A and B are shown apart, each in its own frame.
Chain A
């Protein structure tokens, strides 16, 4: 099973090439690291996988994520996962719910910790209130945050420290039970202690989830990933 297949992906802004060309594959159930110096367009590539490129940017090449041809062009390749999108328009929200992205800086919504944890899942899946509570607990535990917040789930999420917030964002993604987790420099905005906590949480997912991590830190990727792919500014290295 291949969760992500990227072939000759180039992201550009008008005439200017911002990232790529890059080619890689991520087999389901493994953790893959994308490494490259800052400015190589790692985050841009990650974003293009779920159609979250900022406005003037466009991607070309071939991207298949969980069997969905993200760029919407029918290339006739083997789509994995049984979803046949072909040339029809891609249902990006549905894809993003299955391939959840966690951003570089933690963004929490002005709501309680629990509401943040189930922020996405309460829209995407129909579930009772009790089921959502269970889901929040499971996700927070998996993100390694449960023990720290169990007694104040209803207090505002912006009272958390920045490292806790990042793990809350991770929990928000995990609560969706995604088939694929995309992590964009998950520790670059954090201090050493918070980084260790997030790293431990991500390492805990290894072997159970399919994860794609982007980072500039080779040592960190070695600790967290099964494979590492390097991206240079001028193409795959």
Chain B
């Protein structure tokens, strides 16, 4: 974490940089030494805000339907269903954006090609949705049932109970879901890259111009950093400094949102909420709809909430179907076992092998480090260190992966002189997988009953013996599931690999050595093919590889869930 911040600061200081120009001008012209990023900052903000504005109402409504309206035995299934949206890698969302959202925007808003900020926002909205739903469902599930019962006992209808008794208590956590969703939207790179158009554009001159800008091609901070400029700029000088400054802006905003969001998503105990004043009464009365009976209003509201959940599940089904139908190429075994030929033909054998190497080594790196970090957080560190480490880990989890990629490029490719290397890729993917590992280990240890720890001490065990024989076994299920879930995420990552570890062609199936030993990977393969979407052969291969990638991620997630169930049963 600190290394990434330090890298960006070193980068910023490596060349002359005028912050005022960066923030106020919209002329970005490296050849003339002009670096104004206001248009990109606008693009980033516009895309993220639009995405959250779509995803938040839908996600909140769906979360209420899951937590408060669905029969309790369906809750887990419905939640898991909505979380499928998070399993799909962002490169696949990019493909979907190219195939469906761009044509939609092109027809609807008369934009040639459809590349625009709006298209990016629509794709992002779907990607942010699972975050909003998961955090909100947790917040709603955290409201004690006694509250619901007490409100029902006063004769309130189901939706009146939700509005007057449940939401005031869940408001904080549901607000946090908005911040975390926003952080996710700001940091997303690959899916946006493929549909945003990547024209620097200009800062809107007037409110009317703002609307026009939204349906024109634009640029965001992440897509700028993911572009070719990062590699062309060298690693010092004004151009590199300006790029690093953009990275610092991005990291600052995403980090702050993640931190505040995570803080607020945990319930605060004991202190009264803001709703605890007399005004809540007045506010509530003004919400009353005149002219509709309570029972009908209840039914109507319920229908709307369940409808939102329905839309979410339809999205899941549609995405699964699209990936399977379009990726039909991957249904032939030969596609998996033959090497790719030329620009777009052949199979994906080397890409599968490369992804496997990257992911397996990343797992080998992330598991022990994550276990150690989790143990330090929960056992060895004092409360202050633990809190600090936890915040750092959470922020690391939210760091836009493009920044990891730039850092890896700068440190390993350039400073250490490795060139493109599979090991860099594995290290970066391990960093992607690390936060879930450490957090699940820490919470597993924290959930250990104090008596068991005492009993171990009472047997005369020293601390390290106690850790080895009590804490580590307790943490193992968490370690395994955390690693598998982290790797499921890492397997789909594209941005960290583009400059550091992967090449489109010319890499052997398995790399030898470390220096200048790139691999091919599924995600970067799709990324390159996707930018050639006019070629039907490229599209066919890209979708086939996308299905393969989704299958890999899904297998890891299913393995994680199965392992958790089995080990939880054994622990009991």
Binding site for B on A (CB under 8 A): 50, 52, 55, 91, 93-98, 100-103, 105, 107, 109-112, 114-115, 118-124, 129, 132, 153-154, 156-159, 169, 172-173, 176
Closest to B275 in A: A110
Q: Mark B142-173, 1 if CB is under 8 A from A, else 0.
A: 00001101111111111010001100110000
Given contacts A109-B168, A112-B281, A123-B294, A97 and B155 within 8 Å (CB-CB): yes
In the complex, what distance in Å separates the CA atom of A119 from the CA atom of B165? 9
Asked if B272 contacts A158 (CB within 8 A), the reply is yes
Q: With A and B bound together, what is the CA distance between A119 and B150 in angstroms?
A: 10
Q: What is the CA–CA distance of A25 and B37 in the complex, to the nearest angstrom?
A: 78
The reply to whether A103 and B155 contact each other, CB–CB distance below 8 Å, is: no
Selected A-B contacts with CB under 8 Å, 12 pairs:
A107-B149, A110-B168, A110-B169, A111-B276, A111-B277, A119-B165, A120-B151, A124-B156, A129-B282, A154-B278, A156-B277, A173-B154
Contacts A111-B280, A112-B280, A156-B277 given; indicate if A93 touches B285 (C-beta within 8 A). no
**Would you give the 0/1 interface string for B260-298, flagging 1 where the beta carbon is closer than 8 Å to chain A?**
000000000000110111101110110000000011001
Given A55-B72, A103-B146, A103-B149, A156 contacting B155 (CB threshold 8 A): no
| Chain B interface (Cβ < 8 Å from any Cβ of A) | 72, 146-147, 149-158, 160, 164-165, 168-169, 272-273, 275-278, 280-282, 284-285, 294-295, 298
Distance, CA A103 to CA B158, complexed state (A): 19
Residue of B nearest to A94 (CB): B155
Contact A176 B273 (CB under 8 A): no
Tell me how far the C-beta of A41 lies from the nearest C-beta in chain B, rounded to whole angstroms.
Answer: 17
Known: A52-B152, A97-B154. A119 touches B276 (CB 8 A): no
Are B168 and A111 in contact (CB-based, < 8 A)? yes
Asked, given contacts A96-B153, A102-B153, A122-B285, whether A112 binds B147 with beta carbons under 8 Å apart, the answer is: no
Q: Are B146 and A107 in contact (CB under 8 A)?
A: yes
For A52, what are the chain B residues with a Cβ–Cβ distance below 8 Å?
Answer: 149, 152-153
**Contacting residue for A112 out of B151, B155, B169, B276, CB 8 A:** B276
Chain B residue nearest in CB terms to A117: B281
Is the beta-carbon distance between B276 and A156 smaller than 8 angstroms?
yes
Q: In the assembled complex, how far is the CB of residue B302 from the closest CB belonging to chain A, in whole angstroms?
A: 13
The reply to whether B153 and A103 contact each other, CB–CB distance below 8 Å, is yes
- Chain A residue numbers with a CB within 8 Å of B156 are 93, 96, 120, 123-124
**Partner among B168, B272, B281 whose Cβ is within 8 Å of the Cβ of A118:** B281
> Hey, which chain A residues are within 8 Å of B164, CB to CB?
109, 119, 123
Provide the bound-state CA to CA distance between A96 and B157, in Å. 10
> Which of these, B152, B155, B168, B272, contacts A124 with CB under 8 Å?
B155
Shortest Cβ distance from residue B494 to the other chain A in the assembled complex, whole angstroms: 44
- Closest B residue to A54 using CB positions: B145
* Contact for B150 among A55, A107, A132, CB less than 8 A: A107
CA distance A119 to B278 in the complex (A): 12
- Residues in B with CB closer than 8 Å to A123 are 154-157, 160, 164, 294
Contact among B153, B169, B272 for A100, CB-based, below 8 A? B153
The answer to whether B295 touches A91 (Cβ under 8 A) is yes
CB-based contact B282/A120 at 8 Å: no
B155: contacting residue among A96, A107, A111, A118, CB under 8 A: A96
Q: Find out whether the CB atom of A120 lies under 8 angstroms from the CB atom of B146.
A: no
In the assembled complex, the Cα of A208 lies from the Cα of B572 at a distance in Å of 54
A109→B146 CA distance, assembly (Å): 10
State A142–B259 Cα separation when bound (angstroms): 48
Please, which residues of chain B bring their CB within 8 A of the CB of A103?
Answer: 146, 149-150, 153
Bound complex: CA A62 to CA B191 (Å)? 60
Closest to B282 in A: A129
Q: Which of A98, A107, A172, A176 has the most CB of B within 10 A?
A: A107
A residues less than 8 Å from B158 (CB atoms) = 93
For A55, the chain B residues whose CB sits under 8 A away are 72
Please, how many angstroms separate the alpha-carbon atoms of A93 and B276 in the complex? 25
